[in-house]
Amino acid sequence: MPLHVEIIAAEQPILTTDAEVVVATTVSGQISVLPQHEPLLTLLAPGELRLGRGANEVLLALAGGYLEVRDDHVTILADAAERAEDIDMARAERARDRATARLRESQSSVDVARASAALARAISRLKAVDQFRSRGVTRAR
Amino acid sequence: MATGREIQRRMRSVRNIRQITKAMELIAVTRLRRAQQRVLASRPYSSKMRELIGEIATQAGANAGDDGMLHPLLERRPVTRVGVVLITSDRGLCGALNGNTLRAALQFSYRQQNGGKPVEFIVVGRKGMLGLRHTDFPLKSEFTAIGDYPSMVKTNPVARVAIQAFLAGEIDEAVIVFPKFVSTLKQEPTILPLLPIDPPPASSKASVPGQASAGHTGDLLHEPDPRTLLSQLLPRFVEVQVYQSILETVASEFSARMVAMRNATDNATELIKELQLGYNKARQATITREIIEVSSGAAAQGR
C-alpha cells in the first residue's frame, strides 16, 4: 500500500497524491519514508523533496516546514513549496546571486540571517530543477 | 420650485456618482471572490498545525510532568497588561464594517481597563489607526498598506510584534479583533485569544488507528526533541492565525463594500427617478405657463 502524501503550504494546499517513497531534507539530514514507517514528526530544512520513484517521480523544492508520518499518511506543512517543473530557473539564479551579494555586504545579524535563509531557498530550488532536468522526469499529472 | 436646468445639473451629478458606485461594486465582487478563495485555501494548513501542536503538547506534557514550561508562548501568567491586535481595512466606503470592529475592540478594552488591566493596541489598517486616535489607549505599533491580497511575508511582522511583547513581559495576554467573514451580508466583529497559545487537546485520531497498525503505538517520534519543534511551531502558528484574520478582514471588507455600494447605486437610481419626475413637472409647468401667456396675449390683442 503506497503512502498517502499531502503537501500543504500556508497560503494554499499544494498537492495530494500517493507515492511509494518520500525523500525529504530534514534539519538533521535526508530521510526516506517508506510505507509502515513509524509515526514521526520532524522539522524540514530548505531543500528538495522527492515523491515516488522512476517515471512517477515528482520533485519539489521546499523552503522548510514540518513533516508528519502517521499510518502511511505523510503530511508536509511547507513554509513554501514549488514543483520542480514550475520553478523559474533564471529567477532562482537571480535570487541566489542577490542573496550571495547581500551576504557579503551585510553587517547586521538580521540581514545575514535573512540573506542566508534566502540563499538556502534559492539553492534548494536550483538543485531541484537540476535533478529534475538530469533525470528527464516526465511531467507528473 | 427648482428650475429645469438646476434639476438637470443635479441629475447629471447623481448619474456620475451612480456610475462610480456601480464600478466599485463590481470591483468589490471580483476581489471578494479571490479573497474568499484565499481564506478557504489557508484553512487546511492552520487546522493541521493546530492538530500537531495539540499532539506534541499533550504528549510532551505527559512525558515531562509538571517540571518546567514546554515553551514560553504557552505560559499562563497572571494578567496585568493586555495587548489587543485590531485588524481593520485601510479604506472606507464599506458600510459599518470598521466602526463595528472598532466598537467591539474598544468595549473589550474598556472592560479590561476597568478591571485594572491596562491595554495596549497593535493596529492593522488605516481605519483602525484613525479610530484609535480619539481614545487614550497607547498604540504599540501600527501597520498600514498591507494590501488586498496579503502574503505571509507582509503579515508576519504583526505577529512578531505581539510575540515579542508577550515574551518580554510587556503584555501577559493578547487577543485579536477582526471582522469575521460569515457571509456576504454578514460580518461579525470577533475577539479571539492569541497569546498565550492554548494547545488544543490531541485529536482522537492520533492514537486509535496508530494502535491498529501492527507494532505502532500512538506515540510520535519527534525529531528533534518536542521543545525544539514547539519553538518552531508555536511562533509560526501565531503568524498563521494573524495571517488568517487578515485574510478574513479583507474578505469582509470587500463584501461590506459590495453591499454598501449596491445600496448606494440603488439609492442613486431612486433619486434619479425622482429628479426626472420633478424635471418633467417643471418642464410641463413652463410649457403651460407659456401657452397661457401666448393665448392671453392673443386674446388681449384680438379684443
Identify which of B38, B217, B224 has the shortest CB distance to residue A27: B224
Task: Kindly list the residues of chain A whose beta carbon comes within 8 Å of any beta carbon in chain B.
Answer: 8-13, 26-28, 36, 38-43, 66, 68, 70-72, 75, 77
B277, B283, B293: which is closest to B3 by C-alpha? B283
Nearest residue of chain A to residue B49 (CA atoms): A77
Residue type, position B37, single letter:
Q
Rounded to the nearest 5°, which phi and psi values hold at A16? -130, 130
Q: CB–CB of B212/B280 below 8 Å?
A: no
Q: Which chain A residues contact residue B46 at CB under 8 A?
A: 10
Residue B61 and residue A73: Cα distance in Å, rounded? Answer: 25
- DSSP β-bridge partners for residue B181: B187
Residues spanned by the domain of A132 = 1-141
CA B112 vs. chain centroid, Å, equals 22
- DSSP β-bridge partners for residue B174: B83, B195
Q: What is the pLDDT of residues A54-88, one digit of tens each?
A: 777 888 888 888 999 988 899 999 888 877 777 77
A79, A76, A24: which is closest to A49 by C-alpha? A24
Residue A129 belongs to domain with CATH number? 2.60.15.10
Q: Which chain B residues contact residue A38 at CB under 8 A?
A: 216, 221
pLDDT band at A109 (very low <50, low <70, confident <90, very high): confident
pLDDT of residue A63: 84
Q: Could you give the number of structural domains in chain A?
A: 1
Residue B196 and residue B72: Cα distance in Å, rounded? Answer: 8
pLDDT of residue B214: 36
Q: CB–CB of A68/A4 below 8 Å?
A: no
pLDDT of residue B203: 57
| Average pLDDT in chain A | 81
Nearest chain B Cα distance for residue A17, angstroms: 16
Residue type, position B4, single letter:
G
The strand pair at A13-19 and A29-33 is best described as unpaired
CB contact under 8 A, A41 and B41: no
Q: Which cell numbers in the block locate residue B282?
A: 417643471
- The yes-or-no verdict on residue A89 having pLDDT over 80 is no
pTM (2 d.p.): 0.81
Nearest chain B Cα distance for residue A13, angstroms: 6
Identify which of A11, A38, A72 has the shortest CB distance to residue B221: A38
SS3 B203: coil
B202, B195, B254, B251: which is closest to B75 by C-alpha? B195
CB contact under 8 A, B224 and A36: no
ipTM exceeds 0.85: no
DSSP letter, residue B144? -
Q: What is the pLDDT of residues B195-221, one digit of tens each?
A: 888 877 765 444 444 333 333 345 667
Q: Which chain A residues contact residue B224 at CB under 8 A?
A: 27-28, 42-43
Q: Which cell numbers in the block locate residue B230?
A: 514547539
The pLDDT averaged over each successive group of 10 residues in chain B (303 residues) is 82 95 94 92 89 80 60 86 93 91 94 92 92 89 85 88 92 93 90 86 50 46 78 89 93 94 96 94 92 92 75
Residue B142 and residue B161: Cα distance in Å, rounded? Answer: 10
Q: What is the pLDDT of residues B252-297, one digit of tens each?
A: 999 999 999 999 999 999 999 999 999 999 999 999 999 999 999 9
B123, B106, B192, B131: which is closest to B158 by C-alpha? B123
Q: What structural domains does chain B harbor?
A: 47-202+220-254 (3.40.1380.10)
Size of interface A-B (CB pairs under 8 A): 79
- The yes-or-no verdict on residue A98 having pLDDT over 60 is yes
Nearest residue of chain A to residue B151 (CA atoms): A11
